[in-house]
Structure 1
Amino acid sequence: MVSQMSEIAFKRKRYLNDREFKNFLDLIKKIARYDPSRQEWVFSPEKARNNVSNKDELDQILAALSKYVVLSLDTRKRIITLFEESRKTITLDVDTFSFTADLNDEVLDELEDYIVKIGGRYIVKSIKYLPTIREILQKHGYILVYDEDLVKRKIEEKLVAVIRRKDGMLIVDFPQYIDVEAVKALRKTCKLRYYEERVMLDEEGNYVDTEYVPREIDTLKLSFREKRAITFVGLIDAVVESLKKSGYRIVLHIREKEKIDFDLKAKFKLMPHQERAFKLWIQRKRGTIAIFTRGGKSFIALKAIHELRVPTLILVTTRELAYTWRKYLVEYLGIPEARIGYLGEGKRYITPITIATYNSAVKYLSEIKDKFELLIPDEVHHVPARTFKNIALYVDALYRLGLSATPTRRDGNHELLYAIIGKLLITVDYEELIKLKVVAPIEIYETVFAKGKQEKIRKLMEILEKHIDEKIFIFTLYLETAEHIYNELLKNGFKAVLITGKTPSSKRKLAFRQFLSGQCNIMVSTTVLDEGITVPDAEVAVIFENTGEARQLIQRIGRVLNYKPGKTAKIYEIIDITNPREKYTYFKRKWVRDLYLFEGLEKYVQEEKAKRIYRKFIDEKWE
């Protein structure tokens, strides 16, 4: 046995027969490495540490080896000392961020949150834990050795996330290393919160208050074994942002779906506020745009369809809104009507440009979830509802454009839609649209209280008499209410039309034509007219019945806000104070009027009234 440069080499005593040589190799390989330049076996503390559990086992190996090699008592002590010292020196494998060591239970208890044992090696759960692991080991007499510069280079090399889309889901692969702290942050990001509304009533059934009960959706599936995370495509922005914050380099392997195979012709031009909104959206091709009712949100979406030319799914709330969208697609993009798909009213026709009511989209979700690349939920405040959120989650469209007049909800569920559709990019409120001459200012916003159904009808007739020469919408919730009002109007000599969910398509079209042409100046309707109907010269909206939902009231008011020189809008709510339900819904939505009655509104009203007087003067002069 000789020592060279602090190394301990093993030298055979004599010639070994085959059986002895085999035994020698089995023993020596556990504690030594072969140096071909010297043709000698050299003691390796690292190999010994990996193959020998304790010094007693090492002593037994050395005793057995002493039959074949020169091994003094002092040399055996030196080997055992080096072995013991090496067990206290732990070298980090920077390729796998792992190490081997003989650690006692006390040390392992302290390291439990920072390492995990897999296949005989301790894997560092997160790069961020290295200083803490080193500190704990040092406290117990161990030294964790690693080159910090090399670790930094390896982090850049190993912290890579490959993102792709497969089977309608977003797949995140970590081919080199999965960092636990990064995954914790990712799981938090992918945990979506929403609120369920719970109405609180007193013993007599009267409304007391509304509470919002928080709920959570954990959308992330994780496999450490496969080094993979799975979530919904709609969360891609949040996923990328979270991983980047954790130091990961992102590699996107998402192939865009094929472009549509027919020409689109833009036969419109965006107004300045629409152009501003579109430019914000096109940067990431995701996001929510909030432009107050009648601000032309649909044209921003038409611009997106024209620019991207990818398969598009447009979600709408009613068939009337679907008809409006179909008209826009034909008129402003030149799409042949036969090429426009539709899911609604029992119809199931899917094309690269498809309009779907939310309810039908839920019904046919398995058929549409992987067919579109651009998702346009119109009136996007519907999406957070328990049913509708599944559409936005399971449809794997990469690009998303949420349109709404009122994306902010008092129940906080707008945060859910921002997470799924994209962040709020721009808000254009009512006053700004008045300045732009996009909407009419409201001259009258009045709440009329009545005692009982008969007085309510009488109050309605009084309002109609005041506006006998103007076009008027009367909104109800229930079919029988709408039919009753319609019959009362006819009895009292008013020219009215009725549209409900039961009105056949042919009669519905005729009623619209009569109302638009002025043959009849009053339209009575249930909720089917809440969204998407355009009658530029309608001035009066009478809310005879309404839910407590602010969005519904805003949409109904919006029916009379189209701008026309000299036009001012008039809004009336009629409330039966003897009806507990009507009182409850009124108080719940009462705050909506504050969206319209801002300081300085009267100035805009007077400007439009002056235009009306001037126009009347000119008309009379030239008669």
Structure 2
Amino acid sequence: MARTPTLTFDRGTLIIHPPPRGKAWMDYATWDDRVEKFRLPAIQYRSVVEALQAEEVDFIDEAKEFYPLDLVVTLEMEPYPHQSEALAAWKLAGRQGVVVLPTAAGKTYLAQMAMQATPRSTLIVVPTLDLMHQWYAHLVAAFPDAEVGLLGGGSKDKTPILIATYDSAAINAESLGNRYGLIIFDECHHLPTDFSRVIAEYAIAPYRLGLSATPERTDGKHADLNILIGREVYRKRAEDLAGKALAEHEIVQIKVKLSQHEREKYNQLIQTRNDFLRDSRISLGSIQGWQMFVQMSARSQTGRRAMLAHREAKEIALGTDGKLRILANLLAKHHPERIIIFTADNATVYRISQELLIPAITHQTPVKERHEILTKFREGVYNTLIASHVLNEGVDVPAAAIAIILSGTGSTREYIQRLGRVLRKGNIANKQAILYEVVAEDTSEERTSARRRGMEKSNEPQRHEERKGKTGKKGHLQVVYGTGKEKSTKAAEQLEINYSTKRNEDSSDLT
């Protein structure tokens, strides 16, 4: 009598033996001479199981170690309409997909709703230790009877609900892969890297939720999210939620003129750089052009002078004294409101901190000191703080109402995240948030500002055409992610996923 095929999990892959009848499963299988059995990618677990069930093939599932949870919720709030819509859209997509919401729009609570709607052992993956501890505090409060653990920062728990950093989850992907039925990828734009993507590829989780304010990546790898998590199922912008889930907000750009001495020096430095670029036939209008500039600058004395001139010109634009005068005026204007100041470099952070006696946070700030500064800022002991890049992601400061960007990169993600620092309503009625962007006039900063706000213009026909809507182009954030098609979310309320992995097990339908 023929043996029943058995599906097993093996260090981030699946093995099925003996080969079942039917053909559908073979689309995912590769013969492995080392073990003389068919091997399948773990990420294809759901597809394989559903294919076998569709052909009514009896099999034994020994791969799955995830299981149902009895989640008793004590932290429940009335969801915003966009949260309910996003959950319904995700359910309609088979509980696989990416939800794009602006910073401060309640992505953590949406994830809690997804966990309640899909009560299975759950892995939550986050980019930083700060976010890991924020998630832990939220989920312990939401599900006090559930076992919630941590993986990362010295913790190595094995719990039904586990919160892990991307680094720790990737390192342990082979052992985590079959233990969780639902994976939530917070800030999911971190996933499609060569190092982190194994978290999704080595996992059999049939249910996956990606969360991000800006899933698009400059390297174009955001398209891989369609495979690793699922397609984009819902999107809202900050302006869509202003006055509702988010505070009303205003974005004000202030242009600062360089002093006569700064202007003369800046123009001289830019001329030195441009002469070299012209002679070397290099255009800085692309990533490839910049890479060529870096390579050529290392090959000659003239190239090194051009690179040094480029950097010195940038420092003049970023740190012009005119910006400090504007900053002092803004601080006086909005005193005693809580203000966050952002810069692109640590040198400017420390300079302003010393001259204006403002608490500073950089990547060099010790953890305890950073925690103390943020605590005093939330409590109102400090009204102002200044940071470089470390507050872009994963910091909850609902009391902040004013953000001032003195300098930054051309990253749309960074811009949206910095805006998000002041969009949380908190308990402030009729909160009016303001984002000031202080830019040195007639410098490269104007182009940087236009790029991060998605308003860059170009005289180059080819690049202009790429910006007009061709999707999937690398180095360009105006890409359309997902299908762009709208679906009715009402159908998800009656949707049932008839998903079970054993013929004789109790129904595991989800609604």
> Which TM-score band (shorter chain)?
0.5 to 0.7
CA RMSD after TM alignment? 3.8
Provide Cα deviations, 1:233-263, integer angstroms capped at 9, x if missing partner: 2x4566689x79xx96777865653547775
* 1:545 to 1:345, Cα distance in 2 relative to 1, 3 A: farther
What is the identity, as a one-letter code, of the residue corresponding to 1:470? E
Match of 2:247 among 423, 434, 440: 440
Q: For residue 541 of structure 1, what is the aligned residue in structure 2?
A: 403
Match of 1:272 among 81, 84, 104: 81
Task: Note if 1:387 corresponds to 2:195.
Answer: yes
Contact 2:376–2:382, Cα closer than 8 Å, also in 1: yes
Provide Cα deviations, 1:472-503, integer angstroms capped at 9, x if missing partner: 1112344443222221221xxxxx33333343
Structure 1 position 362, deviation (Å): 2.7
Task: Note if 1:413 corresponds to 2:276.
Answer: no
Equivalent pairs, count: 386
Structure 2 Cα separation of the partners of residues 252 and 593 of structure 1? 56
Contact 2:32–2:38, Cα closer than 8 Å, also in 1: yes
Q: For residue 567 of structure 1, what is the aligned residue in structure 2?
A: 431
Greater relative contact order (Cα < 8 A, sep 6+):
2
Task: Note if 1:398 corresponds to 2:206.
Answer: yes
Name the SS for the 1:570 alignment partner. strand
Structure 1 Cα separation of the partners of residues 101 and 58 of structure 2? 35
Match of 1:371 among 163, 179, 194: 179
Match of 2:100 among 287, 290, 294: 290
Provide Cα deviations, 1:39-88, integer angstroms capped at 9, x if missing partner: xxxxxxxxxxxxxxxxxxxxxxxxxxxxxxxxxxxxxxxxxxxxxxxxxx
Provide Cα deviations, 1:347-404, integer angstroms capped at 9, x if missing partner: 4444332222222323343443343332111011221233222222123333211111
Query: Which stretch of structure 1 is more off in the superposition, 355-364 or 441-450?
Result: 441-450
Match of 2:236 among 417, 422, 428: 428
What is the percent sequence identity of the aligned residues?
Answer: 33
* 1:593 to 1:163, Cα distance in 2 relative to 1, 3 A: farther
Q: For residue 348 of structure 2, what is the aligned residue in structure 1?
A: 481
Structure 1 Cα separation of the partners of residues 47 and 449 of structure 2? 38
Structure 1 position 438, deviation (Å): 0.5
Q: For residue 381 of structure 2, what is the aligned residue in structure 1?
A: 519
Structure 1 Cα separation of the partners of residues 366 and 194 of structure 2? 31
Structure 1 Cα separation of the partners of residues 16 and 257 of structure 2? 60
Alignment of 1:42-121 (within 5 A): none
What is the identity, as a one-letter code, of the residue corresponding to 2:335? I
Contact 1:544–1:575, Cα closer than 8 Å, also in 2: yes
Structure 2 Cα separation of the partners of residues 485 and 335 of structure 1? 47
What is the identity, as a one-letter code, of the residue corresponding to 2:235? T
Q: For residue 167 of structure 2, what is the aligned residue in structure 1?
A: 359
Structure 1 Cα separation of the partners of residues 424 and 403 of structure 2? 12
Structure 1 position 322, deviation (Å): 1.7
Alignment of 1:449-488 (within 5 A): 449=256, 451=258, 452=316, 453-455=319-321, 456-488=323-355
Structure 2 Cα separation of the partners of residues 399 and 253 of structure 1? 21
* 1:411 to 1:508, Cα distance in 2 relative to 1, 3 A: closer
Contact 2:361–2:387, Cα closer than 8 Å, also in 1: yes
Q: For residue 69 of structure 1, what is the aligned residue in structure 2?
A: none
Structure 1 Cα separation of the partners of residues 442 and 85 of structure 2? 48
Structure 1 position 428, deviation (Å): 2.5
Structure 1 Cα separation of the partners of residues 450 and 59 of structure 2? 50
What is the identity, as a one-letter code, of the residue corresponding to 2:90? W
Provide Cα deviations, 1:478-535, integer angstroms capped at 9, x if missing partner: 4443222221221xxxxx3333334344333332232122222112123332223333
What is the identity, as a one-letter code, of the residue corresponding to 1:327? A
Greater fraction of residues in strand: 1
Provide Cα deviations, 1:107-155, integer angstroms capped at 9, x if missing partner: xxxxxxxxxxxxxxxxxxxxxxxxxxxxxxxxxxxxxxxxxxxxxxxxx
TM-score by length of 2: 0.65
Contact 2:67–2:181, Cα closer than 8 Å, also in 1: no
Match of 1:175 among 20, 24, 34: 20
Structure 1 Cα separation of the partners of residues 346 and 453 of structure 2? 24
Structure 1 position 449, deviation (Å): 4.7
Structure 2 Cα separation of the partners of residues 296 and 517 of structure 1? 22
Structure 1 position 555, deviation (Å): 1.2
Contact 2:247–2:423, Cα closer than 8 Å, also in 1: yes
Name the SS for the 1:519 alignment partner. coil
Task: Note if 1:589 corresponds to 2:397.
Answer: no
Contact 1:539–1:561, Cα closer than 8 Å, also in 2: yes
Q: For residue 9 of structure 2, what is the aligned residue in structure 1?
A: 166
Query: Which stretch of structure 1 is more off in the superposition, 456-465 or 167-176?
Result: 167-176
Name the SS for the 1:538 alignment partner. coil
What is the identity, as a one-letter code, of the residue corresponding to 1:565? A
Q: For residue 283 of structure 2, what is the aligned residue in structure 1?
A: none
Structure 2 Cα separation of the partners of residues 584 and 371 of structure 1? 48
* 1:527 to 1:322, Cα distance in 2 relative to 1, 3 A: farther
Structure 1 position 315, deviation (Å): 1.3
Structure 1 Cα separation of the partners of residues 343 and 59 of structure 2? 50
Q: For residue 148 of structure 2, what is the aligned residue in structure 1?
A: 340
Q: For residue 311 of structure 2, what is the aligned residue in structure 1?
A: none
Structure 2 Cα separation of the partners of residues 297 and 395 of structure 1? 23
Structure 2 Cα separation of the partners of residues 360 and 572 of structure 1? 37
Q: For residue 310 of structure 2, what is the aligned residue in structure 1?
A: none
Structure 2 Cα separation of the partners of residues 556 and 519 of structure 1? 22
TM-score by length of 1: 0.54
What is the identity, as a one-letter code, of the residue corresponding to 1:567? K
Structure 2 Cα separation of the partners of residues 169 and 315 of structure 1? 20
Structure 2 Cα separation of the partners of residues 593 and 462 of structure 1? 29
Name the SS for the 2:390 alignment partner. helix
What is the identity, as a one-letter code, of the residue corresponding to 1:382? H
> Structure 1: any 5+ residue segments left out of the alignment?
1-161, 188-219, 491-495, 596-623
Contact 2:342–2:386, Cα closer than 8 Å, also in 1: yes
What is the identity, as a one-letter code, of the residue corresponding to 2:360? L
Provide Cα deviations, 1:258-293, integer angstroms capped at 9, x if missing partner: 547775424213333212322333452322122222
Contact 2:186–2:210, Cα closer than 8 Å, also in 1: yes
Structure 1 position 543, deviation (Å): 2.2
Alignment of 1:312-351 (within 5 A): 312-334=122-144, 339-351=147-159
Query: Which stretch of structure 1 is more off in the superposition, 503-512 or 162-171?
Result: 162-171
Structure 2 Cα separation of the partners of residues 222 and 548 of structure 1? 47
Structure 2 Cα separation of the partners of residues 299 and 318 of structure 1? 18
* 1:237 to 1:405, Cα distance in 2 relative to 1, 3 A: farther
